[in-house]
Amino acid sequence: MKHSLWRNIQYFFLVLVGIIVFNVILLGTLVQYNVQDESATEILAATVREVSRNDETYVLSEAGQTLLHENNIWSIVIDQNTGEVSGTFETPATLPAQFSRVDILQFSRFYLNDYPVFSHILDSGDILVLGFPKDSYIRFTANYWQQSFLKKVPFIIMGIISVNLLMIAGLYLYTRWRIKSKLDPIVDGIEALPDGLDDRIPHISGLETITQALNKSDQLLKASQQFRQQWLAGITHDLKTPLSVIFTYANLLEGRTTHPKDKRWLQTIQKESCYIENLINDLNVINRLQSETYKNQLEDIDVVAATREFIVELINMNAYDLYTFQFNVDHIDYPIYVRMERKMFDRMLHNLIYNAINHNPQGCHIRISIQPFDHFTRLSVRDNGTGTSADRLQEVRSRLNQPDILTARNSGIGLIVVNQIATIHGGRLDLASEPGQYFEAITTLESVNQ
């Protein structure tokens, strides 16, 4: 966040410097364009060169007259001694024929009858005055500056620029903060929308349409999710009764028949019934984990005791004669607790063990281990069966967070359910394997202090 803000500030100042440079270039271009015409001092200098004296009068050459006429300029020459006008060109009728020294002093720096005038002392000492059109030039009343002030001008300019930059930067940061404060709830809402909003996004001035749309979308998603959960719960519940009937009758018929072919068919029916039952149970678990009320049913479970009970029940079923089980607890003589629903823990352990059984139909040795640590407990199920390749293991890992019922027949969703159970309880699932040697699933869960 800080790096992003710093980059934005840098980008802002680069753009600002670019704008300033552009404006300086533009200003220089405009100034250059507007001063292409001859300036007053240039016209005055050119006129001086075209003035000549003939006896007691001054004569303006034809070129000088053309220059003044084209620029709508009049001229007079004032005698230095008497103040009388001794030479004129297109002079306004309102001008006097004689000027006092005070008059000359006043108009030499300002205006003469509202005409901006520029003067020059000829070689003879007389004064040449050029009058430009009204409103063509502005004469400043002060044509001097204190040297101490001129020395301060660069610092004053830099100070003004610095203050303006700080004001612009402050305005930028304030505007960015205002926009961010309004957009943050919306961004958080969009990110949380797939999992559902805990609270409605508050009313934000100027962004009412967006907040209303997000709140409406959240309502529709929650309604759709609730419908899906209820529909799935109803379907799985309705499937269990006929499935139990099929399994029970197949088991009874297997005990009564002696024909090998019939036994194989009945065993296949039982096997597929078990598969469907496991699939239904896994779907129910996924459905419950996504329920908003699930966390209200958590309890503290003694991992060692619960695992031991589950293994004993599994052995007593006499359905897994091809498999041997080993339970390692590393000499633990105290209870280790994790917080979750007991049915969820049993389902997680069932899926870990069933995964080893399902992928080793020829039988194998299954070792269940529990290792306590400071803040978490590690539960691992390892078999010495066929294992799997590195590519296949990577494929299984990639599917842990992407349950796909279409591939359940080939890859199963047992480990996916285990991963979801572990994740929602603050844990994780890790997998390891070597082809032909072993397959190990390690579940790490947060421990609860008692």
- 371: domain CATH number is 3.30.565.10
Rounded to the nearest integer, the mean pLDDT of the chain is: 81
Whether residue 326 sits in one domain with residue 383: yes
Whether residue 300 sits in one domain with residue 425: yes
Stretch 324-335: mean pLDDT: 84
More confident call, 186 vs 72: 72
Q: Does residue 250 belong to any structural domain of this protein?
A: no
Q: Does residue 270 belong to any structural domain of this protein?
A: no
Q: For a pLDDT cut of 90, what percent of the chain falls above it?
A: 15
Q: What is the pTM of this model?
A: 0.53
Whether the CB-CB separation of 352 and 418 falls below 8 Å is answered with yes
On the question of pLDDT at 4 being above 70, the answer is no
Per-residue pLDDT band for 30 (boundaries 50, 70, 90) equals low
Stretch 211-221: mean pLDDT: 77
Whether residue 316 sits in one domain with residue 340: yes
Whether residue 26 sits in one domain with residue 7: yes
Whether residue 44 sits in one domain with residue 30: no
Asked which of 131, 158, 177 is the last residue of a domain, the reply is: 131
DSSP 281-316: HHHHHHHHHTSTTGGGG-EEEEHHHHHHHHHHHHHH
Per-residue pLDDT band for 143 (boundaries 50, 70, 90) equals low
Whether residue 120 sits in one domain with residue 23: no
Q: Does residue 289 belong to any structural domain of this protein?
A: no
Whether residue 349 sits in one domain with residue 392: yes
pLDDT, tens digit, 9 for 90 and up, residues 378-402:
999 999 999 999 999 998 888 887 6
Q: Does residue 168 belong to any structural domain of this protein?
A: no
Inter-axis angle of helices 414-424 and 342-358, nearest 10: 150
Stretch 156-183: mean pLDDT: 82
What is the 3-state secondary structure of 92-104? CCCCCCECCHHHH
Asked which of 109, 131, 153 is the last residue of a domain, the reply is: 131
More confident call, 112 vs 39: 112
On the question of pLDDT at 116 being above 60, the answer is yes
Whether residue 361 sits in one domain with residue 342: yes
pLDDT value of residue 237 = 72
More confident call, 89 vs 215: 89
pLDDT value of residue 406 = 56
Q: Does residue 121 belong to any structural domain of this protein?
A: yes
β-strands 428-434, 438-446 pairing: antiparallel
What are the φ/ψ torsions at residue 439 (nearest 5 degrees)? -140, 130
340: closest CA among 312, 371, 303, 369?
303
More confident call, 29 vs 102: 102
Stretch 360-367: mean pLDDT: 92
β-strands 115-121, 299-302 pairing: unpaired
On the question of pLDDT at 376 being above 70, the answer is yes
Please tell me the total number of residues recorded for the chain in this structure. Answer: 450
Whether residue 11 sits in one domain with residue 66: no
Whether residue 3 sits in one domain with residue 124: no
Whether residue 13 sits in one domain with residue 118: no
pLDDT value of residue 82 = 86
pLDDT value of residue 295 = 66
Whether residue 107 sits in one domain with residue 60: yes
When mean pLDDT is compared across 43-52, 94-103, 266-275, the lowest value belongs to: 266-275
pLDDT value of residue 2 = 45
DSSP 117-178: EEEEE-TTS-EEEEEPPTTS----S-----HHHHHHHHHHHHHHHHHHHHHHHHHHHHHHHH
Per-residue pLDDT band for 36 (boundaries 50, 70, 90) equals very low
pLDDT value of residue 436 = 92
Stretch 431-449: mean pLDDT: 92
364: closest CA among 348, 347, 380, 387?
387
Residue 18 domain boundaries: 1-36
On the question of pLDDT at 1 being above 50, the answer is no
From CA 353, how far away is CA 366, in angstroms rounded?
8
Total number of domains in the chain: 3
Stretch 346-371: mean pLDDT: 91
